[in-house]
Chain A
Amino acid sequence: EDQVTQSPEALRLQEGESSSLNCSYTVSGLRGLFWYRQDPGKGPEFLFTLYSAGEEKEKERLKATLTKKESFLHITAPKPEDSATYLCAVRHHLNYGGATNKLIFGTGTLLAVQP
């Protein structure tokens, strides 16, 4: 069964304390792994798309990496404004070969950065 698992469920960091969030997946035929950030009461905000193992993307204090089984979101020297829920999602090809934009989401990591 296609599955996305994120860990840890919650993470509390001090400002400037770097860390990593994990997203492991089991899907047939990965067609993209996506990271989103979600603030309370708002829709997910797109961060990164990764398509193949070894790929890396960076944006400000965030860096996303992808292997054949998992992805990491590295946060370097976080600030309080980085506090949010970080969601990982995957898209895969359908068994019959049809196209889909359906995303399978993990349950997210709630990050709190204290000043």
Chain B
Amino acid sequence: KAGVTQTPRYLIKTRGQQVTLSCSPISGHRSVSWYQQTPGQGLQFLFEYFSETQRNKGNFPGRFSGRQFSNSRSEMNVSTLELGDSALYLCASGRDQETQYFGPGTRLLVL
């Protein structure tokens, strides 16, 4: 069974730009969550989607947004990038209320 896939794997952007990251969950998984990982803050929850609905949101500014499509694939968008947005962005999928499995992440560098 294929795992969670994330694209792109690496991104370099400049301040003020916007970026869209994509996540394809494991087949059959309708829950998708996004996390930001930095050396200083560790893994921080961004938001989660279940059946195309955002069910929970972390403490991040409105520049961070996401959506989920009918095939459970999800995207997250960051607008007006700041230097502090440089991080590893991780997507996790699972069956509802069960174990979440993580993808390889997208490494974003903001210059």
Contacts and interface: CB of A to CB of B under 8 A. Distances in A.
Interface of A: 31-32, 34, 36, 41-46, 49, 87, 89, 94, 98-108
B48 A100 contact: yes
A87 B43 contact: yes
B102 A100 contact: no
Majority secondary structure of chain B interface residues (helix, strand, loop or mixed) = strand
A81 B9 CA distance: 24
Contact of A49 (B31, B45, B99): B99
A42 B45 CA distance: 17
B102 to A, nearest CB: 4
A42 B105 contact: yes
B102 A36 contact: yes
Given A42-B104, A100-B55, A105 B43 contact: yes
Contacts of A99: 50, 55, 96-97
Given A43-B90, A99-B96, A105 B105 contact: no
A43 B55 contact: no
Contact of A100 (B43, B56, B99, B103): B56
Interface string B95-111: 01101111111010000
